[in-house]
Structure 1
Amino acid sequence: MPALDDVRVLDLTRVLGGPYCTMLLADMGADVVKIEPPGGDFVRETPPFHDDDDNFGGYFQSINRGKRSIELDFTSEEDREDFLSLVKAADVVVENYRTGTMEKFGLEYEKLAELNPQLVYAAMRGFGDPRTVPSPKQDEPAFDLVAQALGGVMHQTGQSDGPPTKVGFGIGDIFTGVLHTVNILSALHYRDRTGVGQFVDTAMYDSMLSLAERAVYQYSYTGEVPERCGNAHPTLFPYNAFEAEDGYVVIAALTDRHWQSLCERMDRPEWAVDYPDAADRLEHRDRLRDGIAEWVGSQSVEETLELLNGSVPSGRVQDVSDVYKSEHAHQREMLVESDLPESDETVTIAGTPIKMAKTPPEPGARAPLLDEHREELLGNAEQPSKPEPSPEPTASEQDVGAMGFPTSQSQDD
């Protein structure tokens, strides 16, 4: 029995952060209904496409697996009624539009909660929602790049003599999506204890500030803005990438025991005596870094790792082709095959990192075709999917596209 097999999620999100959140819920067994505007989530049109099937690209396939799809036009009264019929039986609604967008259709949280008091309404926005905590930026759009820039992540990423650099993958979306999942699960736990749903929101800006927590406390303690330091760490050494003859190796010898082992493998036992603790190593990091770099550079990646394996935390800097060859990735089911709608071929997508002994998550079926599940969803809209309620405890503007959904969303990648 999957952990969330009694949870139904109505997914109004598009692009990356929101769909990644609802994908995690689907992996854990939730029935995720992807409600798409006329024409569908525009990420369907994003490459790469498979030679044998161009119904949707790899971007859409990767983060929309295990979901069902229905196409609704919120400018249509009939389609709004169909949506409300789904809300009656839903546990969660997830959306990632700017503040005020759902109000334009009369589908805001307060209206939906009147219809279904147990509903968890989860808004993922660039700068949050005034229902929880207001922001002077709450009416502004945000994308992954904007969130990384404002949250301090870009300033900390890159070489010391280079420009601020975004993290290669869309962490402004993905990390926010992960935190949004935590937010939703916490609200569901409260709902299961009390019978009462609630509004929750996760802001991309907030998420990046949380991710950049080290810079926050460093500035508080020292009064200085931390500088970029490439692959190194500002307060720990050795913790860096070193170039070998045929690639790069990372070495993280942080404890005294790891440092002693590294010195032995490098045939520099005197370093273990001269620099016995972390403060000594940090003070003399330039000299020690040059010595480690010279040692790693004199041999191959494999030779370096054979010497360090089991005694010093280390690893090869891998590209994705290396990951495909990784025994760990295959045994941990982190590379999974997904079907194509109109082909016997399969494509490989990333598996789920969430592992559970009794209710193991499982990446679901391929991503859905647009409106593929209309008949089964509207035919079963009144069927309840949540537990019986417990007694209740005492206690901005966005343009709307012609077809009924906003023309922009709160995050992108």
Structure 2
Amino acid sequence: MNAPLDGVVVLDLTRALSGPYCTMLLADLGADVIKVESPAGDSSRRTGPFPQDDAEHLYGGYFQSVNRNKRSVVVDFRSPEGIAAVRRLAAGADVLIENFRAGVMDRMGLSYESLQRDNPRLVYGALRGFGDPRTGASPHVDRPAFDVVVQAMGGLMGITGPPHLPTKVGPGIGDLFPASLLAVGVLAALTDRERTGRGRFVDVAMYDAIVSLCERVVYQHSYNQAVPTGDGNDHPLLCPFGLYRTADGWVTIAAPRDHQWQALAKTLGRPGLGDDPRFATNNARVVVRDQVRAVIEDWTSALPTAEVVDALSAQVPCGPVNSAADIYADPHLRIRDMLVELEQPGSADPVTVAGQPIKFAGAETRAYRRAPLLGEHTAEVLGADAPPTTDR
């Protein structure tokens, strides 16, 4: 069975995390992703961690984790020959994705308009901190941005952690969520091209994406002028829906639906709470959240996490707080191919990265290719047309 994007050629002019994650999603789905790098390479190649026996440090875990299944071509973006090579590649591509600041591609002579004239079917994806003027000229358009900046500005840090102590979310969600949305936009544009014969300019601002992710901040403020802040490990609108102490750690329990609460109360040995008007509905429980917590932890704190999960998880959404070691030990993730081994250049042993969560029934398990070495496929892709790549 062919992969869904077999035959789709993606020109990847991205670096760091957001853009490479987007193009990796497309590569995992079968696209031929050609990563175009300067002679110095994507700066994330130099970011660790590195295996202990790897003395070469050609790239570390950061780069490996989001650049699998791609080919690497090196061109000098500061030379006319390098720019001409990119134009030739774009003329034969289905998709181009870049995450430079607004105007950088235009100044290099690679604007969407000029590339679209050469290739009217080209879908052009742009991923920036504050978007592109073509879709709305932000007053912040010229600012650089990283994950932590858009987590803060988009409202995510303000509703994470304890009240009035903004807290960064651990993974780079300010990069990964915008990247995922751009992949969706690109796929929508490819579908539209089947009808119209023409590509489109697709733009995702990291700031916009995080505001979208924090949608309840917007409607809560609209409905009752609330300014939401952190709720710790609880939910402002659902109860119980949070983290609870056990005898040997912590467990998550979510029973906002009344039938789930009734099942939980029965397991707690307190079946009467299912019909008690102070607790019988979710809206009532939100008001007495602290009392709900006390009732639940009176039971959970006397039991190991595993026993709590075993007692609840068939009827009530419940799960442990897994460490990395727990994740590696969970058979679910092996069965679902979510722990993928790849060759690591410079090391005798393979390394493991997170797999692709998008699955297709009936599809064969695809072999993953390691991330490419810098310029590994330049001759293969450009052949005799490969320009000189001296970094001047």
Q: TM-score of the superposition, structure 2-length normalised?
A: 0.95
Letter in 2 for 1:18: G
- Identical residues among aligned pairs (%): 49
Q: Structure 1 residues 95, 30: closer, same or farther in 2, change over 3 A?
A: same
Q: 1:283 matched to which residue of 2?
A: 287
Q: Larger RCO: Structure 1 or Structure 2 (Cα < 8 Å, ≥ 6 residues apart)? A: 1
Q: Does 1:341 align with 2:342?
A: no
Q: Distance in 1 between matches of 2:364 and 2:166?
A: 40
Letter in 1 for 2:343: D
Q: Distance in 2 between matches of 1:380 and 1:185?
A: 32
Contact 2:243 2:251 in 1 (8 A): yes
Q: 1:48 matched to which residue of 2?
A: 49
Q: 1:76 matched to which residue of 2?
A: 79
1:358 shift after superposition: 4.6
1:227 shift after superposition: 2.1
Contact 1:123 1:201 in 2 (8 A): yes
| Equivalent residue pairs, number | 384
Q: Does 1:143 align with 2:153?
A: no
Q: Distance in 2 between matches of 1:349 and 1:380?
A: 35
Q: Distance in 2 between matches of 1:227 and 1:56?
A: 39
Which of 100, 103, 111 aligns to 2:103? It is 100
Q: Structure 1 residues 214, 24: closer, same or farther in 2, change over 3 A?
A: same
Q: 1:195 matched to which residue of 2?
A: 197
Q: Distance in 2 between matches of 1:70 and 1:80?
A: 13
Q: Distance in 1 between matches of 2:134 and 2:366?
A: 34
For structure 1, which runs of at least 5 residues remain unmatched after alignment? 383-401, 405-413
For structure 2, which runs of at least 5 residues remain unmatched after alignment? none
Q: Does 1:130 align with 2:148?
A: no
SS at match of 1:189: helix
Letter in 1 for 2:25: L
Q: 2:40 matched to which residue of 1?
A: 39
Contact 1:147 1:208 in 2 (8 A): yes
Q: Structure 1 residues 87, 359: closer, same or farther in 2, change over 3 A?
A: farther
Q: 1:6 matched to which residue of 2?
A: 7
Q: Structure 1 residues 235, 209: closer, same or farther in 2, change over 3 A?
A: same
Q: Distance in 2 between matches of 1:241 and 1:359?
A: 37
Q: Structure 1 residues 358, 380: closer, same or farther in 2, change over 3 A?
A: farther
1:51 shift after superposition: 2.4
Contact 2:160 2:229 in 1 (8 A): no
Q: 1:397 matched to which residue of 2?
A: none
Q: Distance in 2 between matches of 1:280 and 1:307?
A: 25
Q: Distance in 2 between matches of 1:380 and 1:307?
A: 66
Which of 236, 239, 242 aligns to 1:240? It is 242
Q: 2:272 matched to which residue of 1?
A: 270
Q: What does 1:7-406 correspond to in 2, within 5 Å? A: 7-53=8-54, 54-160=57-163, 163-274=165-276, 275-359=279-363, 362=366, 364-379=368-383, 403=391
Contact 2:51 2:347 in 1 (8 A): no
Q: Distance in 2 between matches of 1:144 and 1:279?
A: 35
Contact 2:131 2:205 in 1 (8 A): yes
Q: Structure 1 residues 228, 344: closer, same or farther in 2, change over 3 A?
A: same
Q: TM-score of the superposition, structure 1-length normalised?
A: 0.90
Q: Distance in 1 between matches of 2:188 and 2:223?
A: 32
SS at match of 1:146: helix
Q: Structure 1 residues 380, 225: closer, same or farther in 2, change over 3 A?
A: farther
Q: Structure 1 residues 381, 305: closer, same or farther in 2, change over 3 A?
A: farther
Q: Distance in 2 between matches of 1:339 and 1:25?
A: 21
Q: Structure 1 residues 256, 369: closer, same or farther in 2, change over 3 A?
A: same
Contact 2:165 2:230 in 1 (8 A): no
1:196 shift after superposition: 0.3
SS at match of 2:218: helix
Q: Distance in 1 between matches of 2:391 and 2:301?
A: 59
Q: Distance in 2 between matches of 1:91 and 1:381?
A: 20
Q: Distance in 2 between matches of 1:149 and 1:178?
A: 19
Alignment root-mean-square deviation, CA: 1.7
Letter in 2 for 1:14: R
Q: Distance in 1 between matches of 2:384 and 2:174?
A: 36
